[in-house]
Amino acid sequence: MATTVAALQTSPQATMSAALDETLTLAAEAVAAGAVFLGTPEYCGGLVSDGPKLIPPHAHEDEHAYLNGLKRFAADNGVWFLVGSVAITASEGRIYNRGFLLDNTGRVRSRYSKIHMFDIQLSQADVYRESASVTAGSEAVWMDTPVGRIGHTICYDLRFPHLYRELAQAGAQILAVPAAFTRKTGAVHWHVLNRARAIENGAYVFAPCAVGAVPGGGEAYGHSLVVDPWGAIVAEGGEQPGVVLAQLDLARSDDARKNIPALAHDCAFSISAGDATAVT
Distance CA 72, CA 74 (A): 6
Nearest to 199 by CA among 256, 246, 152, 242: 256
Beta strands (DSSP E) in 130-217 are 142-145, 148-152, 174-176, 204-207, 211-213
Nearest to 36 by CA among 253, 248, 252: 248
* Mean residue pLDDT across the chain: 96
- Looking at residue 280, what is its pLDDT? 62
**Burial class of residue 129, CB neighbours in 10 A (0-12, 13-18, 19+):** middle
Report residue 11 CA to chain centroid gap. Answer: 15
H-helix or E-strand spanning residue 31: helix 16-32
- Enzyme catalytic residues: 42, 114, 155
Tens digits of residue pLDDT in 47-65: 999 888 889 999 999 999 9
Beta bridge pairs of residue 149: 144
**Residue 154 confidence class, pLDDT cut points 50, 70, 90:** very high
Note the pTM of the prediction, 2 decimals.
0.95
Beta bridge pairs of residue 101: 82, 110
Report residue 67 CA to chain centroid gap. Answer: 16
The single-letter code of the amino acid at 128 is Y
101 φ/ψ angles, rounded to the nearest 5 degrees: -120, 120
**Residue 278 confidence class, pLDDT cut points 50, 70, 90:** low
Tens digits of residue pLDDT in 82-105: 999 999 999 988 999 999 999 999
Which positions ≥6 away from 156 have C-beta within 8 Å?
A: 114, 116, 117, 118, 130
Q: What is the largest CA-CA distance in the chain?
A: 71
98: helix, strand or coil: strand
Q: Which domains does the chain have, with CATH numbers?
A: 3-264 (3.60.110.10)
Q: Are 102 and 74 in contact (CB under 8 A)?
A: yes
